Amino acid sequence: MLSKHSRYLFSTITGIAGCVITTVFASNTLQSAPLSQEQDTLPASQETISTLRENCEFSVSAPMEAPIDACSELIKVSGQDYHLRAWATAYKGLAYDRMTTWGTAADKARYAPLALELYRSAIQINPKEIIAYRLLGDYFYNRDAKQAIENYKIAATLAPQDDDGSDNLKVAWLYDQEKNYREAVAVYTQLIDTGKGGPVYKGAQLYAMRAQSYSRLGELTSAVADYDEAIRLMPSNITYLTQRGNVYRKMKQYPKALADLDLALSRMDYAEAFLVRGLLKQETGDEAGAKEDIARAKDIEPGVKEDNL
């Protein structure tokens, strides 16, 4: 797992899921669900629709219920525009999902199933509504990794050519989380080859994440090569230096490991660098130095441990 110094904390919604969904997408066969007679509504001006769309999306400055009201109204005025209806339905689900994040346990039990039902309804209305699949992926991220991966993969197939690749990046994270490092490497490679990965995780970050997956697979030479590239692209990053130093330690190339760790620590008192250097000193017989470095690591970050490297 990436150190907290370098990783981008992906924010997901936690709560109590009322049910589980399996979504299936086939781009050549799925058709939108027809709108029933009861769904026919009065037309609205483009200005009204634009305002409702803006209010339907979440805003920290608005009351929690405001997006639900706006999305509900947008659904009413969507008429035969199933694209708009599906979009508004998905965002109404997100509004309920947000309420589980900041609500009580009772709120979570009440609103999580509503959010899930609305995400499913959005896909029934328009099976190509990419937002619904992304929100389903977010919904399942900490609940059911397999379901999350399936939905992010569908979203990735629906994404336009100029998309930043964030859906596949989340797939790679989940593969890492599930210890499916081989699949994670494959997805990181795809992102590197296509120059994608989202607004933050591009270039050096992707090489470092793939390096960590290689390291966990025991493919240490490949890990070093990726860390070399990450450091070339971002030479000031002490996390990459520390992680490459840790790989060198695993390879028992202690002088190279020590050089990376000393350089990282010359730039900042970094808990993981102290820990790795302490482990290196243990392995090379410097018990006093090891004890001192490991103690420094725990002083800086009490929860630091080798499993996180």
The region of weakest confidence among 13-17, 94-98, 149-153, 230-234 is 13-17
Length of the chain: 309
| Measured distance CA(235)–CA(146) in Å, rounded | 36
Chain-centroid distance of CA 58 in Å reads 19
| Measured distance CA(53)–CA(102) in Å, rounded | 23
Handedness of CA 243, 249, 253, 259 (dihedral sign): positive
**pLDDT greater than 60 at residue 9:** no
| Measured distance CA(47)–CA(55) in Å, rounded | 12
Q: Which residue ranges make up each domain of the chain? A: 1-144
pLDDT at 201: 63
Q: Which two tokens stand for residue 154?
A: 């569908």
| Measured distance CA(272)–CA(102) in Å, rounded | 33
The whole-number average pLDDT for the span 251-269 is 98
Percent of the chain clearing pLDDT 90 (strictly above): 72
pTM of the predicted model as reported, rounded to 2 decimal places? 0.80
Per-residue pLDDT reduced to its tens digit, 42-89: 567 888 899 999 999 876 667 788 999 999 999 999 988 999 999 999
pLDDT at 23: 39
Q: What would you report as the CA-atom Rg of the chain, rounded to the nearest whole angstrom?
A: 24
41, 77 in Cβ contact below 8 A? Answer: yes
